[in-house]
Amino acid sequence: MLYREAGQFKSSYAEDQQIFPIRQDRIALAVFLAFAFLVVPVIGNQYWLSAILTPFLIFALAALGLNLLTGYAGQLSLGTAAFMAVGAFMAYNFVLRMPWLGIIPSFILAGLCAAAVGIVFGLPSLRIKGFYLAVATLACQFFVLWAIQRWGWITNYSTSGVIAAQKVAIFGYAVETPAEKYLLTLAIVAVMALAAKNLMRSETGRAFMAVRDMDVAASVIGIPMMKTKLLAFAISSFYCGVAGALYAYTYLGTVEPEAFTLDLSFRVLFMIIIGGIGSILGSFLGAAFITVFPIFLNIASGWTSHALGIEISHALVSNLELIIFGGLIIFFLIVEPSGLARLWQITKEKLRLWPFPH
């Protein structure tokens, strides 16, 4: 009833090909973006902005990068955290050694460095697929961390190997408060998400999906395997690199190699599995689930122990959190293996018929 296309006519190819062809979608998106950019920084308190929303956006960007590689191009990769680490450390080095560049060009260059590393470790994908490729990218994960710990230049020879991110300033305007950091992150993530969506609707995206579905057939019809696969690794690593740089500059403020372990790679992989492989929205939904839900469980357990008046042992609470979280992941995968994005799609389809059942 509300979600009907009746009366909306497209009179040009541009209108027909837009990302959100239905007017209600465009209005909803505009409202949502206005809320995110204008209302949230004003009403959001510091805890929400700096501990929940900013990491959510950063991990959504990393999940987006992995989704481009694994979801759209079909190349399984476990090196996400390593690419984020490269992005973070190289961003630090660019700001340190070339401060005249500015922070956004430094992020872009850091992303390009991560892309270069991605291309190098994506070379095995030309020969191996699936699980075996995952193991090759696992090598990337360990090697990059080892290299960062051994190569003193990259941490500016700091004794502890932990680097403190410098202050962020865009055109002389300092980005210091949580609201400003949130806005910077949101702007970067929004632009890159739009770029990713358009990329996947273009010829490159179709080449990726052809490689994912059946790479032999793709090469038969003339899609160049090496270029496509390496491009997928490069773009994905670029996104992960920028996410890593944001992680250092707008979220934690310090970077150490221990923050980018295999654990983080798996976490990002779980985000896209839960959220939906091969879907841009899925990256965001999965990131929201995995970053926000454990904190919600932690706070909720505090409420329940207050409400019921019993003192639950704190270790039990923390372990329960992990158990419930794991159980929910299994539940989601049984109920909807295609992820939360598919649930959203089904909702929209039902909405088109609403209030009619069929």
Partner 1 sequence: MKRNVLAMAALAAAAAVGVSTPAAAQNEQFIPANYYWVGPYAPGGSGFGGGIIDYFAMLNERDGGINGVKLTWEKCETEYNNARGVECYERSKKKGPTGATVIHPLSTGITYSLIEKATADKIPVISMGYGRTDASDGRVFPYIFPLITNYWSQNTAKIKFIGMKEGGMDKLKGKKIVNIYHDSAYGKETIPVLDAQAKKFGFQVTHIPVPHPGNEQQAQWLQVRQIKPDWVILRGWGVMNPTALKAAAKVGFPRTKIVGVWWSGAEEDVIPAGDAAKGYIAAGFNLPGSEFPVMKDIQKFVYAKGKGEFEDKSRFGSIYHTRGVVAGILTVEAIRLAQTRYGKGKPITGEQMRWGLENLRIDGKRLKELGAVGLMQPLKVSCMDHEGGGAVKFLQWDGKKWNVITDWIASDQSIVRPMIEASASQYAKEKSITARDCGKEG
Applying CB under 8 A, the residues found at the interface with partner 1 are 46-47, 50-52, 55, 146, 149, 159-162, 164, 166-167, 251-254, 256, 258-259, 261, 295, 298-299, 302-303, 306-307, 313-315, 317-319, 321-322
Residue number, 225 or 300, with CB nearest to partner 1: 300
Residue number, 55 or 282, with CB nearest to partner 1: 55
Residue number, 8 or 46, with CB nearest to partner 1: 46
CB of 182 to partner 1, least distance (A): 13
CB of 43 to partner 1, least distance (A): 16
Return the structure tokens found at 161.
Answer: 């190997």
CB of 311 to partner 1, least distance (A): 10
329: left (phi over 0), alpha (psi -120 to 50) or beta: alpha
CB of 269 to partner 1, least distance (A): 17
Return the structure tokens found at 328.
Answer: 């929910």
Residue number, 99 or 337, with CB nearest to partner 1: 99
CB of 178 to partner 1, least distance (A): 9
CB of 56 to partner 1, least distance (A): 12
Residue number, 17 or 304, with CB nearest to partner 1: 304
Residue number, 55 or 122, with CB nearest to partner 1: 55
Residue number, 50 or 204, with CB nearest to partner 1: 50
Which three-class secondary structure string do you get for the chain? CCCCCCCCCCCCHHHHHCCCCCHHHHHHHHHHHHHHHHHHHHHCCHHHHHHHHHHHHHHHHHHHHHHHHHHHCCCCCCCHHHHHHHHHHHHHHHHHHCHHHCHHHHHHHHHHHHHHHHHHHHHHHHCCCHHHHHHHHHHHHHHHHHHHHHCHHHHCCCCCCCEECCCEEECCEEECCHHHHHHHHHHHHHHHHHHHHHHHHCHHHHHHHHHHHCHHHHHHCCCCHHHHHHHHHHHHHHHHHHHHHHHHHHHHCEECHHHHCHHHHHHHHHHHHHHCCCCHHHHHHHHHHHHHHHHHHHHHHHHHHHHHCCCCCHHHHHHHHHHHHHHHHHHHHHHCCCCHHHHHHHHHHHHHHCCCCC
Residue number, 306 or 358, with CB nearest to partner 1: 306
CB of 213 to partner 1, least distance (A): 36
Residue number, 18 or 254, with CB nearest to partner 1: 254
Which CB contacts under 8 angstroms, 24+ apart, belong to 122-131? 122/75, 122/229, 122/230, 122/232, 122/233, 122/234, 122/237, 123/230, 125/75, 125/229, 125/230, 125/233, 126/225, 126/226, 126/229, 126/230, 129/75, 129/215, 130/76, 131/76
Residue number, 21 or 152, with CB nearest to partner 1: 152
